[in-house]
Amino acid sequence: MKLFTYLRNVRGEMTHVVWPDRNQAILHTGLIILISALVALFIAALDYAFGGIVNKLILGY
């Protein structure tokens, strides 16, 4: 019966959570997408730069 006690406690704790409203959720989702895209562009730029360095120095192209 410990499982039922645990689940009852979880349900009680979930009432204490402050959930974001719709506008906050949309704003934060947009920020996550924007930051993810910027990080992806940064990593792609590094990949391109290091690929060029490898081609020039190691492969001689």
All residues at 6 or more sequence positions from 55 whose CB lies less than 8 Å from its CB, including other chains: 61
Going by the DSSP 8-state scheme, the letter that residue 17 receives in this structure is -
Closest CA to 3 of 52, 11, 47: 11
Residue 5 has pLDDT above 70, yes or no: yes
Indicate whether 61 pLDDT > 70: no
DSSP 56: I
Judge if pTM exceeds 0.75.
Answer: no
What pLDDT was estimated at residue 1? 74
In this prediction, residue 60 carries a pLDDT of 81
pLDDT tens column, 7-59: 999 999 999 999 999 999 999 999 999 999 999 999 999 999 999 999 999 88
> Can you tell me the distance from the alpha carbon of 48 to that of 35, in angstroms, rounded to the nearest whole number?
20
